[in-house]
Amino acid sequence: MGCEQPAVVLPVRASFPFRPGRLNSRVMSTLFGKIVRKEIPAQIVYEDDQCMAFHDLHPQAPVHVLIIPKQEIAKLGDAKQEDAAVLGHLMTKVPEIARSLNLRDFRVVVNSGAAAGQTVFHLHLHLLGGRPFSWPPG
């Protein structure tokens, strides 16, 4: 059941707002899972046993890197106490990765859920830099 879904559907912002549901979350999750398993290419800037960081395909700033856990957690809103170590690991890697990309100031964004703008349902931090950012965000 469910095998009739396409193997890869590129998540594009043009599709937002999409219908929340099983199709979207399963397909999107598979996409970053494929990057973790090196089944599809990405410009990787950092990797260890728990996480990976790679350039966003559609950068919203001169530097736009996604930092993801290798463990598949669909969204921050699903995180549990048992995920504390990996989430802490992601956050503590941010300054190291930012430094490696020559970023002094930067913004970190996590979209959790479709209404918040999440399109790929494998938890990820957006690390953005290289330009000024305004507040509040859109």
**Residue 42 touching ligand 5GP (CB under 6 A):** yes
Alpha-carbon gap, residue 84 to 91, rounded angstroms: 11
Residue among 44, 57, 91, 115 that touches ligand 5GP (CB under 6 A): 57
**Residue 111 touching ligand 5GP (CB under 6 A):** yes
Q: Considering only 44-52, 78-86, 91-99, 114-122, which stretch makes contact with ligand 5GP by CB under 6 A? A: 114-122
Instruction: Identify the active-site residue in 64, 122, 124, 126.
Output: 124
Identify which of residues 10 and 115 has a Cβ nearer to ligand 5GP in the complex: 10
Is 124 among the residues known to form the active site?
A: yes
Identify which of residues 67 and 118 has a Cβ nearer to ligand 5GP in the complex: 118
Identify which of residues 42 and 63 has a Cβ nearer to ligand 5GP in the complex: 42
What is the per-residue DSSP string for the chain? --TTS-S-----GGGPSPPPSHHHHHHHHHHHHHHHTTSS---EEEE-SSEEEEE-SS-SSSEEEEEEESS----GGG--GGGHHHHHHHHHHHHHHHHHTT-SS-EEE---SGGGT--SSS--EEEEESS---SS--
- Residue numbers at the binding site for ligand 5GP (CB under 6 A): 10-11, 31, 42, 54-58, 66, 111, 117-120
